Amino acid sequence: MQRRQFLHASALASTLLLVPKFLHALDRPKNQLAARLRDAPGDKARRLIVVQLGGGNDGLNTIIPYRNDLYYKARPTLALREADGLLPLSDELALHPAMRGLKGLFDQGQLAVCNAVGYPNPDRSHFRSMDIWQSGSGSGQTLSTGWLGRYLDTTCQGGAPAYQALEIDDTLSLALKGAQRNGLALKNPGKFHQLTQNRFLSQVSQEQHVAPAGSALDYLYKTMAETASAADYLYDKSKIHQSTATYPNTDFGKNLKTTAELINSGVESRVYYLALSGFDTHVGQHGRQAQLLGQLSDGLAALAADLQQSHEWENTLVLVFSEFGRRVSQNASNGTDHGTANNVLLLSGALRKPGLLNQPASLADLDQGDLRYQLDFRSLYASILTDWLGADDQLVLGPGIEKLAGLV
């Protein structure tokens, strides 16, 4: 191989398939993985969809304490009122008016709200706090692997393919990076497949190349062969089902539609990861947050309806989080600044505990102007890993994390 070809192929492989080791399963029977995944009622595999709200969504104006005078005192112009069309969840809490789709799911027992979720010694940096949430670490730890990547490391053994976890994006987040296995990032199965049709890559995938075991060249050949195999599989499966559901005509809506099409086509993936960004609302929060929450709500309602139609919604759990909430008091620019604890949403057709799972944080007992967290986000992770994905949460998160019994 010429040096230029090697460098070009190396760059292509690192872009397409971000895995540290080759997964020896190119020609495995397709039903072999399916047998390992059949752990849900009705002999169907359970899957997790994670939706990351980038920028720090303002939880107080998402799940609104509309009967609390302290809320209106802290936000004289930013607070939302009943006259704005709030969507009541209880006598004390209401959804943002833009979230009618999620209100419908709440009324059907398919939405759970976790209030005041966070972690000790919170960090208000976007990058550091997102690393904490994606890695599942404590604030005093720095981990190079993600919680879902370690799930892949510890659970998906025996030649499981790279598409066990898919991020519907061009790059792979820390959350899906393990020490031995990574997820796979792709925006669109057709475009991803097209990228792998590089002439040299096709040649490598089809021919037997001899290279010293463990060498960079050996790793490159094997990685590219797995890339091509995964791309072929996903492209072929994606042609089985084309969704007729109506999703928001946004990037996030299109990514949700791609996710539903892959699920409904029978793709054998346990985890999907998506992001909706733009929530860093320091200035003019009202309009921006309403637009984003509308995209989130309409998109997830469309996803639920789509998967209900194909009888896959009961086997699907959606986790919605943001790296932190916002400060209780509004700032001088009709926005909010970086805060700490926040709400987390869970959606599924099989929730054991729908509705409001705990009380909101007290607005009379703040921590230097911020909400005090009541629920460690790692407890949610531990419950999802154990009770939904059938994994050993201690192998993924370490010991000492208390699970939430009977959540899913």
Query: Would residue 330 count as lying in a domain?
Result: yes
CB 212 within 8 A of CB 218: yes
Query: Would residue 175 count as lying in a domain?
Result: no
- What's 255's domain CATH number? 3.40.720
Q: In this structure, what are the phi and psi dihedrals at residue 332, rounded to the nearest 5 degrees? A: -80, -5
Query: Would residue 206 count as lying in a domain?
Result: no
Q: Which among 97, 102, 35, 31 is positioned nearest to 64, based on CA atoms?
A: 97
Q: Which residue intervals of 112-250 are DSSP H helices?
A: 126-135, 147-155, 189-195, 199-206, 216-238
Q: Which among 172, 266, 300, 294 is positioned nearest to 227, based on CA atoms?
A: 172
What is residue 216's predicted lDDT score, i.e. its pLDDT?
A: 61
What is residue 84's predicted lDDT score, i.e. its pLDDT?
A: 98
What is residue 212's predicted lDDT score, i.e. its pLDDT?
A: 63
Query: Would residue 311 count as lying in a domain?
Result: yes
pTM for the structure as a whole: 0.87
Low-confidence stretches of the chain (pLDDT < 50) are 1-42
Query: Would residue 273 count as lying in a domain?
Result: yes
Domain that holds residue 375: 47-156+249-397
Query: Would residue 368 count as lying in a domain?
Result: yes
Query: Would residue 69 count as lying in a domain?
Result: yes
Task: Give the up-direction half-sphere exposure of residue 402: CA atoms within 13 A in the CB hemisphere.
Answer: 5
Query: Would residue 194 count as lying in a domain?
Result: no
What is residue 23's predicted lDDT score, i.e. its pLDDT?
A: 33
E strand spans, 22-174:
47-54, 63-64, 87-88, 94-95, 111-118, 165-167
Number of domains in the chain: 1
